[in-house]
Amino acid sequence: MRDSEATCIEHLRERARRSVPRMFYDYVDAGSWSEATYRANARDLAALCFRQRVAVNIAGRHQGSTMAGRGVTMPVALAPVGFAGMVHGDGEILAARAAESFGVPFTLSTVSICSIEDVAAHTSVPFWFQLYIMKDRAFVESLVGRAKRAGCSALVLTLDLPMQGLRHKDLRNGLSAPPRLGLRSMIAMARRPRWCAAMLATRRRTFGNIVGHASGVEGTLSFADWVSKQFDPSVSWDDVRWLRGLWGGKLILKGIMDVEDARKAVEVGADVVVVSNHGGRQLDGAPSSISALPSIVEAVGDKLEIWLDGGITSGQDALKALALGARGTMIGRAFLYGLGAHGQAGVRRSLEIIQREMDLTMALCGMSRIDEIDRSMLTTRSLAALGVR
Ligand SMILES: Cc1cc2nc3c(=O)[nH]c(=O)nc-3n(C[C@H](O)[C@H](O)[C@H](O)COP(=O)(O)O)c2cc1C
């Protein structure tokens, strides 16, 4: 299938499955533990139904909006994802360029393969930087300084990973960057010649923000080992306040699933919270992010901007989140499948698919603008099933 032939994210996922070596495909298409929360994200979105409306003038539709003060062609940002440069050679640069050309924000993960400086050198619109708070606070400070110097326009602080969730597939596959060269991994890679060609053409094969920057980190890095040694289980709201001062710009807190935590986010002066369970990759058994959204919107929706991620694989999913009060959304796997399938063109394709689905759905629901969207777009019966009054 060529880029132009993929008409839904599922086509891109299937293509990515056949293009990306198992270790990295499994890293993307998996949740933690039993994957119950990973499945719940998609299931609860699917259970919401739209109200079909007719004879409404929908001639002047568009999806333009703002996210954290930035104009966007649709309120769908690329979420921070680790290892994107292992899903496709130079993955973060390619995804950032696709986002830039489409007019949506790109977020670079702390555990990216391409570094902050690399992505800045290959893009012309400021991107966002995602940070994990690590034990080595001097390294955290240096990352924040590097993000500032690179012109990043917002800091996304991820709070739901003080320790890594149990991800069986990654442990079984021995996930690392670069991949360790055993017989099994060599055979797996040899069966993916286009992936190999892109990897051989780049020098970016390990964690660009970390290796050579954090003290004592060299060469091949086992992600699980590094996270368990470096991520700080003592992180508290005081640390968030400290970072707020250190950064001084727009602060987006990601991984908020509880009303009490959302209130704390307001207290520390966050600009945005992302209702997120890390795509079902952290606390398995947590509720779906869409089901956590309404109570958080009710509690703090008038005090800061609320976004949602988790399970969005279509424009319809994004609209459902907006209908329940999110001002913006983020996508992880939906763009990674495009990246794995066709590199930059695939990421762009995933964004085109989502926008086309948003546009068509808005039209058939009698909506012309993003700021018109509210709960009335969804049937009361499906809202009740999700516990929304
Ligand atoms: C492969 C993968 C890697 C991820 N890495 C990070 C990361 O480095 N930092 C982070 O804050 N979130 C990370 N996430 C979570 C995403 O930012 C986002 O919350 C999640 O992907 C949303 O769910 P979705 O994939 O169903 O869209 C990752 C998600 C995936 C799928």
331 within ligand 1 shell (Cβ under 6 A): yes
Q: Are 52 and 359 in contact (CB under 8 A)?
A: no
Counting ligand 1 atoms within 8 A of each CB, the residue from 281, 317, 339 with the most, and so the one to mutate, is 281
Rounded to the nearest angstrom, the distance between the alpha carbon of 215 and the centre of ligand 1 is: 26
Provide the residue range defining the domain that includes 228. Answer: 3-385
Rounded to the nearest angstrom, the distance between the alpha carbon of 214 and the centre of ligand 1 is: 22
The amino acid at 181: L
Rounded to the nearest angstrom, the distance between the alpha carbon of 5 and the centre of ligand 1 is: 26
Neighbour-count burial of 58, counting CB atoms closer than 10 A to its CB (0-12 exposed, 13-18 middle, 19+ buried): middle
Q: pLDDT tens for residues 90-143?
A: 999 999 999 999 999 999 999 999 999 999 999 999 999 999 999 999 999 999
Token pair for 263: 């209130």
Under DSSP, the state recorded for 196 is H
Token pair for 132: 């994990």
Token pair for 348: 């762009």
255 within ligand 1 shell (Cβ under 6 A): no
| Rounded distance between C-alpha atoms, residue 361 and residue 287, angstroms | 26
Atom 4 (ligand 1): residue with closest C-alpha? Answer: 81
| Residue in 11, 88, 278, 342 annotated catalytic | 278
30 within ligand 1 shell (Cβ under 6 A): no
Give the pLDDT score at 387: 87
Q: Which residues, 6+ apart, have CB-to-CB distance to 333 below 8 Å?
A: 13, 28, 29, 279, 313
Token pair for 204: 């970016």
Q: Are 158 and 235 in contact (CB under 8 A)?
A: no
Q: Are 176 and 146 in contact (CB under 8 A)?
A: no
Counting ligand 1 atoms within 8 A of each CB, the residue from 83, 109, 278, 351 with the most, and so the one to mutate, is 278
- Ranges of residues in the chain whose predicted pLDDT is under 70: 1-4, 216-224
Give the pLDDT score at 194: 94
254 within ligand 1 shell (Cβ under 6 A): yes
Atom 19 (ligand 1): residue with closest C-alpha? Answer: 278
Maximum CA pair distance of the chain? 65
Return the SS3 of 194.
helix
SS3 content of the chain, % helix, strand, coil (to 5): 50, 15, 40
318 within ligand 1 shell (Cβ under 6 A): no
| Rounded distance between C-alpha atoms, residue 74 and residue 64, angstroms | 5
Q: Specify the pTM.
A: 0.96
The answer to whether 278 is a known catalytic residue is yes
Domain total for the chain?
A: 1
Q: pLDDT tens for residues 66-83?
A: 999 999 999 999 999 999
312 within ligand 1 shell (Cβ under 6 A): yes
Rounded to the nearest angstrom, the distance between the alpha carbon of 274 and the centre of ligand 1 is: 12
Exposure class string for 281-313: b at 16+ Cβ within 10 A, else e: bbbbebbbbbbbbbebbebbbeebbbbbbbbbb
* CATH number reported for the structural domain that contains residue 198 in this entry: 3.20.20.70
In 10 A of CB 198, how many CB atoms? Answer: 18
Atom 21 (ligand 1): residue with closest C-alpha? Answer: 332
Token pair for 56: 């409404």
Give pairs for 216-224: CB < 8 Å, separation 24+. 220/176, 220/177, 220/178, 220/180, 221/176, 221/177, 222/174, 222/175, 222/176, 223/82, 223/83, 223/111, 223/164, 223/170, 223/175, 223/176, 223/177, 224/164, 224/170, 224/171, 224/175
| Rounded distance between C-alpha atoms, residue 98 and residue 314, angstroms | 18
Rounded to the nearest angstrom, the distance between the alpha carbon of 80 and the centre of ligand 1 is: 6
Atom 6 (ligand 1): residue with closest C-alpha? Answer: 81
Of 267, 323, 339, 355, which Cα lies nearest the Cα of 45?
323
Token pair for 13: 């996922």
Give the pLDDT score at 256: 98
Atom 2 (ligand 1): residue with closest C-alpha? Answer: 81
| Rounded distance between C-alpha atoms, residue 119 and residue 113, angstroms | 10
96 within ligand 1 shell (Cβ under 6 A): no
